[in-house]
Amino acid sequence: MSLGAVLMVGHGGQSAQEQLVLQAQRAATLDLIDLLQGQGVERIIVAAPSTEWLPSTLNIIRAEDPPGERFHFGARLAGLVEDYGLEPLIYFGGGSAPLVDAAMSGVIVDLLAKSGRSVPSHIVLTNNLHSSDWAAISHLREALPLIRGAERDNSLAWELRESGTYEVRVLAGLRPASSMDIDTPSDLAILAQHPSLLPTLRTALTDPRLDLIPVRQVMEVIRTDGKTLALIGRVSPIAWQALNKQARVWTRVIAEERGMVASERIQRGEVRSMLVPWINGRGVQGFFADLSQMADAVLFDSRVLFAALGMNPSAADRYASDLLRPDLIEDPWLRDFTEAARTAPIPVVLGGHSVVAGGLHTLVEILSLNQAG
C-alpha cells in the first residue's frame, strides 16, 4: 500500500478579507500535514498556485498548478494520482479539516489499511456525502474515470457512491464538528472560539477583525435558557437537532434551498426564498427590526437570499458582508443589507452554508466542552 495524501489549496483573492481566509486555510493545511505525518502518511502532496508559503523544512511534495491553464478539479487530482502512483488516497480541500484531530485522522488511515478485510474493499470515507470537502478512497484506479470528470470536490463522494462500486461512510457522524471547513470569515470567527484548535490555526485566528462578527454574543444567547435563536438558510437538520439536545433555547427556523449548488438550481436561476417578499415589503432595516421581535440572535446563511435575488456578489463583497464591514462593499444593495445587519438590535452572524451546518455543530461542541469544563 502506497498511501498518499493530496492537499489542494487555492490562491484566494486580492482583498484583505479574502487574504484573511486564505491565510487561515494555509494555517489549517500546515496543521493537517503534521497530523498526517504523525499517522505515518509519508507521501503528502500540496497542490496550489504557489507553494512559496510552505516552510522549506517540510518533507512534502510541492506541486504548483500549471500556469495559464484553466483549473479543473477532477483533471488535476487524477493527474496527481497518476504522476505519483498513489493508492489509496486521502484528498483534502484547502481548509477542509480544521477540526480533524489525531483520533479522526487515525481512524481514516486505519480504515483504509483494513479495506478488503474487516471493511469493504471499495470504500470511501468522507465528511459529507452530499457535499464532500475531503475523501479517502481505496482501489483508486477504478475511481479515476469518475474523479477525472468531477468539476468540484463537493460531488465526489456522492458520485462514487452512485457508481455502485463504492461504499461511502460519513465519518463526521463520529464527531459532527469535524464537518466544519473554512470558506468565509464567519467560519474563522466560529472556529476562534473553539478551545481545541491546533497551534498554527490558533495563531492565525487571533486577527482582531474577527471580533467584529458577534459569535460570542450568539453563544451567550445559546447558553441562556429560554432565549430564541433564529436559523436561516440551508439549515442542517442534524445540526439543529444537536442544538436542541445541548441547549435550552427556542429556535425559529427558515430552512430552504439545501443542495442548491449540487442540484445546479443556482446555475439555472431557480433558487427561491421566502425572505424576498418580506424584504421587498419592509426593506432591509424593517426586516431586521421585525426579526429582532422574534429572536434574540441570528445565524444567517445569506447566500440563499443573494441567489434568490439574482445576485452574484464578488468574494470580496461577500466576505466584507460577513465581517459586517459595509464600508468595504461595492454593491449598493449588499452595503445597505450589511449595515442593517450590523446595526440590528440583536446579534446577527452572516455567512455561507457552514454557519447553519458545520459551524452550528461547532458551536454546539464548544458549548458542550464549556459545560463539561
Tell which wins on pLDDT, 34 or 259.
34
Is the domain of 201 the same as that of 148?
no
End residue of a domain, out of 155, 177, 199: 177
Which residues have a Cβ under 8 Å from the Cβ of 49 and sit 6 or more positions away? Answer: 10, 11, 64, 65
238 and 114 together in one domain: no
Residue 220 forms beta bridges with which residues? none
Q: What is the pLDDT of residue 232?
A: 98
- Given this model, what pLDDT does residue 373 score? 61
In whole angstroms, give the CA distance from residue 258 to residue 318: 19
Confidence of residue 217 (pLDDT cuts 50, 70, 90): very high
Confidence band for 174, pLDDT divided at 50, 70 and 90: confident
Question: In the chain, which residue ranges form alpha helices assigned H by DSSP?
Answer: 16-38, 73-84, 102-113, 140-149, 156-162, 185-191, 199-204, 215-223, 237-246, 275-292, 302-308, 315-322, 332-342, 358-372
pLDDT at 346 over 90: yes
Q: Per-residue pLDDT tens for 310-329?
A: 999 999 999 999 999 999 99
Reported as a single tens digit per residue, the pLDDT across 96-128 is 999 999 999 999 999 888 887 888 899 999 988
Are 171 and 127 within one domain? yes
Closest Cα to residue 154, out of 264, 235, 267, 71? 264
pLDDT of residue 1: 56
Closest CA to 354 of 153, 171, 185, 220: 185
Select from 177, 193, 228 the last residue of a domain.
Answer: 177
Task: Give yes or no: residues 197 and 157 share one domain.
Answer: no
Q: How many domains does the chain have?
A: 2
Cβ count within 10 A of residue 267: 11
Range of the domain at 109: 4-177
48 lies in the same domain as 146: yes
Give the Cβ contact number of residue 61 at 10 Å. 17
For 152, phi and psi rounded to 5 degrees?
-145, 160
Q: Given phi > 0 = left and psi -120 to 50 = alpha, else beta, which region is 319?
A: alpha
101 and 218 share one domain: no
Last residue of a domain, one of 118, 143, 177: 177
Inter-residue contact 357 to 239 (CB < 8 Å)? yes
CA angle 189, 213, 223 (to 5 degrees): 80
| CATH code of the domain covering residue 111 | 3.90.550.10
CA–CA dist 294, 289 (Å, integer): 9
Specify whether 134 is located in the same domain as 72: yes
Q: Please compute the mean of the pLDDT values over residues 30-52 and round it to a whole number.
A: 95
Q: What would the DSSP string read from start to end of 331-352? A: SHHHHHHHHHHHTSSS-EEEES
Residue in the block written with cell 433555547: 249
Tell me what the pLDDT averaged over the chain comes to. Answer: 94
User: Within this chain, do residues 142 and 251 fall inside the same structural domain, yes or no?
Assistant: no
Q: Are residues 124 and 257 in the same domain?
A: no
- Could you report the per-residue pLDDT of 5-24, keeping only the tens digit for each? 999 999 889 999 999 999 99
Residues 211 and 150 occupy one common structural domain: no
Question: Quick one: 41 and 161 in the same domain?
Answer: yes
Residue with cell 487555492: 10
The candidate with the shortest Cα–Cα distance to 190, out of 313, 84, 99, 101, is: 99
Cis peptide leading into residue 88 (ω within 30°): yes
Lowest mean per-residue pLDDT among 27-41, 130-144, 239-253, 319-333: 130-144
Q: What is the DSSP string of 107-152?
A: HHHHHHHTBTTTB-SSEEEES-SSS-SEEEESSHHHHHHHHHH-SS
Q: Do 158 and 293 reside in the same domain of the chain?
A: no
